[in-house]
Structure 1
Amino acid sequence: MAKDRKLSADERILWGKVARSTRPMPGKTDELSELDAFLAETEAAVEREKAEKQTPVSFTAEQPATPSASKRPAGVQHPLERPVKRKIAKGRLALEARIDLHGLVQSEAHVILLDFLIRAHERGMRHVLVITGKGSSMGSDGALKRAVPLWFSKPEFRYLISSYEPAAQHHGGEGALYVRLSRRQGERP
């Protein structure tokens, strides 16, 4: 990252969440309370901007209203069907994109993965590969290997993903996931 690049509002919020998970050094609590006040103010400003962007314009009879959140897919993820997984594993059904999250901390991986899935979904892709790594160093299970499936149940991911399964051995095995993205609204099956 360039030294003179400023953090965006979302990056500041993310950093604030990381900073709150630490303990302040003795005598530094005043600086931490200032940081908390600044982050709360920034977070409120970002929420106001998002609310302003989502403010509906008046609709005429010719303009259909945007679909409500209740019409989004429920977000219940099912395992991939066995024939689909077999076709992907054998290369008969193409993986349209892949992302490798090796070497990233969870906060970075979360943002990058969400951005990747949103762009893939917007492009109408259906099957992608997410490589988390096995994380078997020093006897651990792997933070991303455990975290990514949990993220998929969060609201920001839920409407993007239809299903996911561990990948075949030659695609990364337990250290990777086949992800089926949900169809875009209005897209025919």
Structure 2
Amino acid sequence: MGRRRGLTPEDRELWSRVARTTTPLHRAAIPSAPDASPAASEAAARKSSSPKPRLELPPGLSKPGNTARLPSVGYSRAPSPAEALATHPLRMDQKTHRQMTRGKLRPEARLDLHGMTLAQAGPELANFILSCHARGFRLLLVITGKGSRAADEGPLPTRPGALRHQVPHWLHSAPLSRVVQQVVPAHLRHGGTGAYYVYLRR
């Protein structure tokens, strides 16, 4: 037995009577009974089976699930103190610079800033550099340590190795920049990335 499609005339008449006895909640027209004609049913079927519009993606993007063509996003990090110093121009004799970076020159004086805060280390560094320059020294060693993250940082995180990052900035700022000629990371035998060679002007 074939499946009956739509409403019979008796059903449509009953629907109309019920609809006339209701009060709409909003000022909208009372919905009429659905059209049960075969033509209307066929039109609804064709509408539901019509192909959906294609979603066009912008150039450079791929379909969901395929990441092969997605544009890559690059993230840059802040350069380390050694990388930042490597970009500075050479202001001293190249041969002396090569011997210094290979650890073949012995520093004439050294300053160890281990355990100091930034507030303590700044004046200590300035006094050391200026007094060594007054005494005619050329090659100095400033030890900062590589820094370690404290076990209890408190409510705000702190960057480890604050002295290691700050000392080169101090050495290239007034008043020390007037007497400092070159700053490079120390050789491993003198502390590696936890220390700096400071070559002074005459």
How does the TM-score come out when normalised to structure 2?
A: 0.48
Query: Which structure is larger by alpha-carbon Rg, 1 or 2?
Result: 2
Structure 2: unaligned runs, 5 residues or longer: 1-87, 151-157
- RMSD of equivalent CA atoms: 2.4
Letter in 2 for 1:128: L
Please say if 1:121 is aligned against 2:133.
yes
Per chain length, whose mean CA-contact separation is higher, i.e. which structure has more relative contact order (CA < 8 Å, sep 6+)?
A: 1
**In the superposition, relative to structure 1, how do residues 115 and 173 fare at CA in structure 2: closer, same or farther (>3 Å)?**
same
**CA offsets 1:92-111 (integer angstroms, 9 cap, x no match):** 43210000000000111010
Report what 2:161 is aligned to.
Answer: 142
User: Is the CA contact (8 Å cut-off) linking 2:103 and 2:189 kept in structure 1?
Assistant: no
More helix by share: 1
Give 1:87's aligned amino acid. Q
Q: 1:103 maps to which residue?
A: 115
Q: Deviations over 1:131-186 (max 9, x none)?
A: 01100334943110011111122211111100110001111111100010111xxx
Separation in structure 1 between the aligned mates of residue 187 and residue 123 of structure 2, nearest angstrom: 26
TM-score (norm 1): 0.51
Aligned to 2:180: 161
Contact 1:80–1:163 (CA<8 Å) still a contact in 2?
yes
CA distance in 1, matches of 2:196, 2:169: 13
Other-structure match for 1:52:
none
Superposed, which structure 2 residues align to 1:18-29 within 5 Å? none
What are the superposed Cα offsets for residues 58-100 of structure 1, whole Å, 9 maximum, x if unpaired? xxxxxxxxxxxxxxxxxx9746666434423555432100000
Contact 1:118 1:160 in 2 (8 A): yes
